[in-house]
Amino acid sequence: MTQMLDAAENASPVDAVEAVTRELGAALGARSVSFLIADLSGRALVRLAHVPLDGAGDGRRDGDEVATVMPFDNGPAEQALRSQTVGVIAQPDGWMVLAPVTDRGEAIGLLEMVLPDEPAPATLQEIARTAHVLAFVVIANRRYTDLFEWGQRTTPFTLSGEIQRRLLPASFTCESSAFTLSGWLEPAASVGGDTFDYSLARDVLHFSVTDAMGHGVASALTATLGVGSLRNSRRRGAVGLVGQADAADAEVAEHAAVPGSYITAILGRLDLRTGVCALLNAGHVPPLLVRDGDVRTLPLPANFPLGMFAGAGYRDGEITLRPGDRLVVLTDGMRERNAAKLDLPNMLRSIADLHPREAARALADAALEVSGPTLADDATLFILDWHGGHSEERRSSAGADQARASGPLPD
């Protein structure tokens, strides 16, 4: 393992992943080793390769870089990511091994290799550990290059989408001992008004879902004001939701490029020791609670959107979460026009057993199914599962808690 980390550190950031896979392949006598990164759509993997222009290589190109999209098809690759387990498939030329590349439940991609002989359990454990190390290599090295981000973008981003992308957290999924969360935004490449955010303190989880009025760059800039203000308040120690909302309200009202701009929002602050969750609704779609098979809207004090009437004042409410509860926050893109045909309560009940990572994608897929291939507005989802046990250590293997993983796809 030390040799692999040294190889990653000694290589250029764009070659670090290949350096690790090359070391692993040599150690196991593999016939081939590849890293497939998760596409930003959440519905495909992307094989990255460095192929000179005069050489072979089909797929989207940027100079000598080639990105080949491999859509999910309910096959072994999707099964491995969904269940967060290493898959082994017999092939005519050997044995294919598929190992999830995951950190704290965030499915970064997949390690794919072909071995000449059927791997022993000890070999599979080594591969799983290396795949986990590979997750850290990707996280560390993507700070220095656009290669990984370019590879993940199946669809070119608009300027508003680019701004919006910078407002989202670095990881869409997070597993901790007391909770599991995952956020999703559809579409990921355009529009620009929706965001979700979260930050974990020692005993508190902060989160927000926001929707800036309008579309395009103006909306993205308004969203930037709102998210920037909320983060600044939080980082300055303004832990109360009312204080954060008051500050964001004033900042949006004063600095928005388009007069009259505003942001609807759900702000949350979860005490990880007690499960008490404070929530503030600023003119937003009310959050939903899934508890014991029942889906209900959470009643919260009504407030104006941020920036609509500066100085109007805000009130929050709270709920005490129980182990097994699921909190769902969404934006109005999930309820507008044809998307409103979706039976959301029934859908939430049907996916209650899915990890929030897969549940968010299933909800987005369902909205697209009833509304058509594209949505008229951003649709953002934030799903939080409460487990309790904040004082306990997380039980994980190779970057994921197997007890919380989604079950296999049906045949």
Q: What is the mean pLDDT of residues 263-274?
A: 98
> Bridge-partner residues for 319, per DSSP?
277
Q: Which residue has the higher pLDDT, 319 or 409?
A: 319
Tell how far CA 351 is from the center of its chain. Answer: 17
CA distances from 17 to 32, 39, 109, 231, 286 (A): 14, 17, 12, 32, 43
Q: Looking at 151, 172, 201, which one is the last position of a domain?
A: 151
- Within a domain: 161: yes
Q: How many domains does the chain have?
A: 2
Residue 411 lies in a domain: no
Token representation of residue 36: 């497939």
337 and 394 share one domain: yes
Mean pLDDT over residues 160-185, rounded? 94
Last residue of a domain, one of 100, 119, 151: 151
Q: Does residue 402 sit in helix, strand or coil?
A: helix
* Residue 399, domain member (yes or no): yes
Is residue 133, in this structure, part of any structural domain at all? yes
Q: Can you tell me whether residue 134 is helix, strand or coil?
A: helix
Contact 319, 384 (CB under 8 A): no
Within-domain flag for 409: no
- Phi, psi torsion values for 113, nearest 5 degrees: -145, 155
Q: Are residues 276 and 334 in the same domain?
A: yes
The pTM score is 0.94
What's the domain range around 372?
157-404
Give the length of the chain. Answer: 411
By three-state DSSP, how is residue 364 classified? helix
Count Cβ atoms below 10 Å from residue 23 Cβ, excluding itself.
19
List the CATH number of the domain containing 44. 3.30.450.40
Whether residues 373 and 308 fall in one domain = yes
pLDDT in tens, 19-76: 999 888 999 999 999 999 999 888 899 998 876 655 555 678 888 788 899 999 999 9
Based on the fold, state whether residues 356 and 251 are members of the same structural domain. Answer: yes
> For residue 394, is it within any domain?
yes
Q: What's the burial of 204, exposed, middle or buried (CB within 10 Å: 0-12/13-18/19+)?
A: middle
**Per-residue confidence band for 188, with pLDDT thresholds at 50, 70 and 90:** low
SS (H, E, C) 57-109: CCCEEECCEEEEEEECCCCHHHHHHHHCCCEEEEECCEEEEEEEEEECCEEEE
Same domain assignment for residues 50 and 169: no
Q: Say if 214 falls within a structural domain.
A: yes
Residues 182 and 310 in one domain: yes
- Judge if 138 and 236 occupy the same domain: no
Residues 85 and 231 in one domain: no
For 192-227, the pLDDT digits (tens) are 689 999 999 999 999 999 999 888 889 999 999 999
| Residues linked to residue 393 through DSSP beta bridges, in sequence order | none
Q: Which two tokens stand for residue 260?
A: 């009259």
pLDDT tens-digit profile of 250-268? 999 999 988 899 999 999 9
In a domain, residue 410? The reply is no
Summarize the confidence of residues 128-142 as an average pLDDT. Answer: 95
CB 181 within 8 A of CB 382: yes
Token pair 């999910």: residue? 72
355 exposed, middle or buried (CB, 10 Å; 0-12, 13-18, 19+)? Answer: buried
75-96 burial, b at 16+ Cβ within 10 Å, e below that, comes to eebbbbbbbbbbbbeeeeebbb
Among the candidates 87, 116, 151, a domain finishes at 151
Q: pLDDT at position 377, please?
A: 67
321-358: per-residue pLDDT in tens? 999 999 999 988 777 655 567 889 999 999 999 999 99
Q: What is the DSSP letter of 168?
A: S
Same-domain check for residues 328 and 190:
yes
Pairing of strands 194-200, 179-186: unpaired
Domain at 267, CATH number: 3.60.40.10
My answer on whether 137 and 171 are in the same domain is no
Within 10 A of 151 (CB to CB), how many other CB atoms are there?
Answer: 27
Helix (H) or strand (E) holding 217: helix 216-235
Task: Please indicate, yes or no, whether residues 245 and 298 belong to a single structural domain of this protein.
Answer: yes
Mean pLDDT of 87-115: 95
Task: Indicate whether 247 and 391 sit together in one domain.
Answer: yes
Provide the residue type at 75 as one letter: G
| Cβ 319 vs Cβ 381: under 8 Å | no
pLDDT at 299 over 80: yes
